Chain A
């Protein structure tokens, strides 16, 4: 007889111990291309959370009815459904953001994180635990990319959410050419790689694991 895992464990486990980006190394693709501003990272994080929580719920709901040969296609169909919902919603009410995110919203479909949770957890457990697992996975993903987004926005632009954080008076001018300047590399994609690599290093060291 299995001991029942309390519902909240499904949620909290995903936030740190089994964080999808830092530990399971899934969900990186869209994370890197889209984190140079915090606003975009938050939108992406929320969208992914919505998709993975809802699709995990429905995959779990249908788990006994789904024939094994079409399991993957069913999961993909359910995931695409929710991704399209989010995409249509963004286009209607957050037009500027949807222009920035363009195809990256669609790419949530192939985001390994979502499929990973569906294959790894949702098809094996009841709907409610699956939902919480998905919620945790999404939020775990979100805090990592938001952290990357904050670092990149502060050092790359000197702003957070579009509001200036590093005072303009610190910047180099013609008179003081050696004063502060924005760290241009942070605006480019490689910076995301470096930041996530270092975050993995820190989490591995903290949890005493080695890869």
Chain B
């Protein structure tokens, strides 16, 4: 349940994979909206990015728990200890509702905590927190993680890496956009149009990472007896 078949080197591979190879913004394209609608400053992007990393990591773990103990297949077996027979009950259809509720609730709680403990931080970050709840990347990373059935530690590494990758991409886009403001762009393309094309070029660059497979679990695969005989 905690590590499954993943050895520590796989975790490193998983981290690299989620930051660069399967970058949530540039390879899977989730989380663009909230950003594009905001300003194009690097500072904004950094604030948003840091908040996303934090929320995504914790929400990812919470949602893993939800999937493991409530909505996954066979998840309710722990109720068997109380004598309740749960074979045949499948709460999978509640998954979307529960996941988004967990995320929204967590963000709400976080907002209250920050407001009370650090008003300065609240002023810096406060406006982003509600935006984060509806950030496609957060729900997306949680959903992808449970579809792949990671054990707990790889799941945490995956969601953390996804957040960091998203932050990296947002920061890159913001930095370039800041420069683009002084460039001579055709009227119709200014603003969003050129941002799209620029992001397309960036994602082409990230396509170069395809094929690096570091993250597949290798801890328990048996090596077949005659591995050394090559064709």
Interface string of A1-39 (1 = CB under 8 A from B): 000000000000000000000000111111011000000
CB pair B104–A200 under 8 Å, yes or no, is no
Within 8 A of A (CB), among B181-231: 186-197, 199-201, 203-204, 207
Q: Which of A25, A30, A72, A188 contacts B36 (CB 8 A)?
A: A25
The number of chain A residues touching the other chain, given as a range, is 35 or more
* Interface residue B96 (Cβ < 8 Å from any Cβ of A): yes
* Interface residue B54 (Cβ < 8 Å from any Cβ of A): no
* Interface residue B126 (Cβ < 8 Å from any Cβ of A): no
* Interface residue A182 (Cβ < 8 Å from any Cβ of B): no
CB pair B147–A88 under 8 Å, yes or no, is no
CB pair B29–A107 under 8 Å, yes or no, is no
A26-B33, A202-B188 given; A191·B130 CB < 8 A: no
* Interface residue B154 (Cβ < 8 Å from any Cβ of A): no
CA distance A201 to B189 in the complex (A): 5
Q: Closest CB of chain B to A136's CB: distance in Å?
A: 19
Q: Closest CB of chain A to B3's CB: distance in Å?
A: 24
CB pair B191–A211 under 8 Å, yes or no, is yes
Contact residues in B for A193 (Cβ distance below 8 Å): 196-197, 199-200, 203
CB pair B207–A205 under 8 Å, yes or no, is no
Report the nearest A residue to B37, measured CB to CB.
A25
Q: Closest CB of chain B to A193's CB: distance in Å?
A: 3
* Interface residue B10 (Cβ < 8 Å from any Cβ of A): no
Contact residues in A for B28 (Cβ distance below 8 Å): 33, 189
CB pair B193–A211 under 8 Å, yes or no, is yes
CB pair B31–A83 under 8 Å, yes or no, is no
Q: Which of A76, A185, A193 has the most CB of B within 10 A?
A: A193
CA distance A126 to B77 in the complex (A): 46
* Interface residue A196 (Cβ < 8 Å from any Cβ of B): yes
Q: Closest CB of chain B to A96's CB: distance in Å?
A: 17
Contact residues in B for A110 (Cβ distance below 8 Å): 100, 134-136, 138-140
* Interface residue B133 (Cβ < 8 Å from any Cβ of A): yes
CA distance A36 to B195 in the complex (A): 21
Q: Closest CB of chain A to B5's CB: distance in Å?
A: 23
Q: Which of A26, A81, A106, A205 has the most CB of B within 10 A?
A: A106
Report the nearest A residue to B105, measured CB to CB.
A73
CB pair B33–A112 under 8 Å, yes or no, is yes
Contact residues in A for B136 (Cβ distance below 8 Å): 29-30, 107, 110-112
CA distance A185 to B201 in the complex (A): 11
* Interface residue A162 (Cβ < 8 Å from any Cβ of B): no
CA distance A188 to B207 in the complex (A): 9
Which B residues form the contact surface with A (CB < 8 A)? Answer: 27-34, 36-37, 93-97, 100-101, 104-105, 108, 130, 133-136, 138-140, 143-144, 147, 186-197, 199-201, 203-204, 207
Which A residues form the contact surface with B (CB < 8 A)? Answer: 25-30, 32-33, 72-73, 76-77, 80-81, 83-84, 87-88, 102-103, 106-107, 109-112, 115, 185, 188-194, 196-198, 200-202, 204-205, 210-211
Further contacts, 18 of them, CB under 8 A, given A106-B143, A110-B139, A197-B197: A25-B36, A29-B32, A32-B29, A72-B130, A73-B104, A76-B100, A76-B104, A77-B97, A80-B96, A83-B96, A102-B147, A110-B140, A194-B200, A197-B193, A197-B194, A200-B189, A201-B189, A210-B188
